[in-house]
Amino acid sequence: MVHGEVDHQLDDQNPLLRQYHELAELAGSLAHEIKNPLSVIHMNADLLSEEISEADWPGKRRAEAKVEMIRQQCQRMENLLRDFLRFSRLRDLEMTPGNLNEQIETVLKLYQAQADRDHIDILRYLDPDLPLIMLHSDSLQASLINLVKNAMESMETGGQLVVRTYTTPRGIALDLIDTGCGMDDNTAIHMFEPFYSTKNGGSGLGLPTARKIIQAHGGRISVQSEVGRGTKFVLEFPTPARLL
């Protein structure tokens, strides 16, 4: 299906990665400090907009347009900061035994109406005997939501999303295969880098956060893609011996 597989497994023992994590924590603190005054600016822009709308004067439309631009950019920055704080704050998660099938089914139900509307067939091949894994439900579902959302958005004229779970020699795996627009090798290589995005207005933190969540579960994610044919994500998770 594709030109090659890009493996996004990090080596936590790498000193450069440790330094990166330290910088990410510092940047997260800075982002939190920026968030408060930005919220004040946004609130006052809303108040100013209300005052302008109550008056009638020659420059009213130009003033309204400028205030609206300020509001839009504030919203964009608040969304970016929200995504970044989510990315930088992800640390150790409290894991409990859970079923991966149940997690992906919950996410697919969220997108079933959109799939029906956009003529996307969701094909499920879920192993009913899938072993349990240690997971954190909320964060894992957030990761899966991001991947399913991207898959759906790549199929603007309809298509198929194949969802498959199965056991592997090291644990279990989940395949998400879409028949969407696909991506070139450069995008596949950089797609998990923070702030890299091919979408207008995208924060570029959705996929890095998804990868970070998967890694926090002791897992790994790889991607294969080809322009015009589609994309395949493979998520692999270890199965602790005591849960076999």
Closest C-alpha to 120, from 77, 72, 204, 176 = 176
Domains in the chain, please, with CATH? 15-89 (1.10.287), 96-243 (3.30.565.10)
Confidence at 132, pLDDT banded by 50, 70, 90:
very high
Instruction: Quote the pLDDT of residue 118.
Output: 94
In terms of Cβ atoms closer than 10 Å to its own Cβ (0-12, 13-18, 19+), residue 218 is: middle
Calculate mean pLDDT across residues 166-176. 95
Q: What is the rounded average pLDDT of the residues 186-190? A: 76
More confident residue, 4 or 134: 134
Query: Which tens digits make up the pLDDT trace of 198-235?
Result: 666 555 677 888 888 888 888 999 999 999 899 999 99
pTM of the model: 0.66
Residue 119 has pLDDT above 70, yes or no: yes
Q: Is the pLDDT of residue 87 over 90?
A: no
Lowest mean pLDDT among 70-74, 92-96, 126-130: 92-96
Place of tokens 């589609």: 230
pLDDT higher than threshold 50 for residue 9: no
User: Would you state the pLDDT for residue 88?
Assistant: 60
Q: What is the mean pLDDT of the chain?
A: 81
Alpha-carbon Rg for the chain, nearest whole angstrom, is: 21
- The phi and psi torsions of 19 (rounded to 5 degrees) equal -65, -40
Q: What is the pLDDT of residue 4?
A: 45
Name the band, by pLDDT with cuts 50, 70 and 90, for residue 90.
low
**In this model, does residue 188 exceed pLDDT 70?**
yes
What pLDDT is recorded for position 10? 43
What CA–CA distance (Å, rounded) separates 30 from 89?
A: 12
The three-state (H, E, C) secondary structure of the chain, written as one string: CCCCCEECCCCCCCHHHHHHHHHHHHHHHHHHHHHHHHHHHHHHHHHHHHHHHHCCCCCHHHHHHHHHHHHHHHHHHHHHHHHHHHHHHCCCCCCEEECHHHHHHHHHHHHHHHHHHCCEEEEEECCCCCCCEEECHHHHHHHHHHHHHHHHHCCCCCEEEEEEEEEECCEEEEEEEECCCCCCHHHHHHCCCCCCCCCCCCCCCHHHHHHHHHHHCCCEEEEEEECCCEEEEEEEEECCHHHC
Q: What is the reported pLDDT for 12?
A: 47
